[in-house]
Amino acid sequence: MLKKTFETFLQTLGRAPVGFIVSLGYFSQFVAKSVYNCFMPPFYFKLFGKQFLNIGFYSLPVVGLTTLFAGMVIAIQTYSGISEYGAESVVASVVLISVTRELAPVLSALMVAGRIGAAMAAEIGTMRVTEQIDALVTLSANPFRYLIAPRIWAAIIVMPLLVLFGDIIGIFGGYLVGVYKLDFNPANYINNTMNNMEAVGIIMGVVKAAVFGFIIAVMGCYHGYRSKGGAQGVGEATTNAVVTSSILILVFNYLITELFFAR
């Protein structure tokens, strides 16, 4: 009796870590398979184009609005924080650095994770539970090449473009606040911005964007691909895709920053 209770206790204790390791195994296998199939023909250019448009073009408004307000807020915060030291010259460079290095890549990625990661998980999850993925296999189409590779390629390529767009809008947001609210001289503001522009910050933002694009597509596809149990399963997949990709975006944001600026 005591032995059985002890066994049950150990089983309960061990279930969570074992489950975690098993999931990690599935996930690693999925990522390896996805990356491999990204480089294997056939390449579905039409599907890539569709995803490119969906992730890129249709995310422009949300990325634009997010980075615009982020740039505006940074301008006000910087001004109010250090106005006594003559913040006028500092605001432009702080807006530039914070937008290009951090705000544009991270906020855009979180927005796209919510919009696109969720949609990918829902679409692929529905295809899984309605046997459309099995149907692809029986029709001699590899689901990794047909469904996953075009999404990964599109996300990796389009995210840097979105972030460059976000950089411009975010800096413009800072300019709007600086010139129209804080009464800075427009020419001075632009000069300050251009003088402080450095390649490393922008390159880092772009590198981050590409990595975040990969994370969003892989997490969206992974959770969708492994979803089961009908509508509820698809709902869970969608939530998990957004939560895990958001956390990974923040973790990798730190790691890439460390990589670029570690002394």
Partner 1 sequence: MSENKIEIRNLYKAFGRKQVLNGVDLDVKKGESLVVIGGSGTGKSVLIKCIQGLLVPDKGSIKIDGEETVETSKNIHQKMGMLFQGAALFDSLSVWENVAFVPLQHSKISRKEAKNEAIKVLKQVGLAADVADLSPAELSGGMQKRVGLARAIITRPEIIFFDEPTTGLDPIMADVINDLIIESAKGLGATTLTITHDMASARKIADRIAMLYQGRIIWIGTVAEMEESDNPYLRQFITGSSQGPIKMEV
* Residue number, 67 or 126, with CB nearest to partner 1: 126
Pick the closer one to partner 1 by CB: 83 or 130. Answer: 130
Kindly state the smallest distance separating residue 50's Cβ from partner 1, in Å: 9
* DSSP reduced 3-state for 191: helix
Retrieve residue 146's tokens. 């047909």
Least separation in angstroms between CB 139 and partner 1: 5
Q: Collapsing DSSP states into helix, strand and coil, what is residue 40? A: coil
CB atoms within 10 A of CB 93: 17
CA distance 90 to 184: 11
Neighbours of 241 (CB within 10 A): 30
Per-residue binding string, partner 1, 30-49, x by CB under 8 A, is ------------x-------
Determine the straight-line distance between the first and last CA of the chain, rounded to whole angstroms: 60
Q: Which is nearer to partner 1, 58 or 261 (CB)?
A: 58
Q: Does 12 bind partner 1 (CB under 8 A)?
A: no
Write the binding mask 118 to 157 for partner 1: x where contact by CB under 8 A, - elsewhere: --------xx--xxx-xxxxxxxx----------------
Q: What is d(CA 244, CA 63) in angstroms, rounded to the nearest whole number?
A: 20
Smallest separation, CB 220 to partner 1 (Å): 16
Kindly list the residues in this chain that would bind partner 1 in the complex (CB under 8 A).
Answer: 42, 126-127, 130-132, 134-141
